[in-house]
Chains A and B, each alone.
Chain A
Amino acid sequence: GAGVSQTPSNKVTEKGKYVELRCDPISGHTALYWYRQSLGQGPEFLIYFQGTGAADDSGLPNDRFFAVRPEGSVSTLKIQRTERGDSAVYLCASSLNGVGYEQYFGPGTRLTVT
Chain B
Amino acid sequence: SQQGEEDPQALSIQEGENATMNCSYKTSINNLQWYRQNSGRGLVHLILIRSNEREKHSGRLRVTLDTSKKSSSLLITASRAADTASYFCATVGQAGANSKLTFGKGITLSVRP
Contact = CB atoms under 8 A, between A and B. Distances in A.
A48 B103 contact: no
Contacts of B4: 42
B28 interface: no
Contacts, number: 77
Given A106-B42, A108-B42, A100 B31 contact: yes
A104 B40 contact: no
B27 interface: no
A89 B40 contact: yes
Most buried by A among B33, B43, B92, B102: B43
Given A102-B48, A104-B45, A106-B42, A48 B99 contact: yes
Q: Decide if the interface of chain B is mainly helix, strand, loop or mixed.
A: strand
B112 interface: no
A43 B41 CA distance: 10
Interface string B58-79: 0000000000000000000000
Contact of B100 (A42, A45, A89, A107): A45
Interface in B28-66: 30-31, 33, 35, 40-45, 48, 50
Interface string B74-113: 0000000000000010101000011111111110000000
Interface of B: 2, 4, 30-31, 33, 35, 40-45, 48, 50, 88, 90, 92, 97-106
Closest 8 CB pairs of A and B: A42-B103, A98-B99, A107-B42, A99-B99, A105-B43, A102-B45, A45-B100, A105-B42
Interface of A: 31, 33, 35, 37, 39-45, 48, 50, 55-56, 59, 89, 91, 93, 95, 98-108
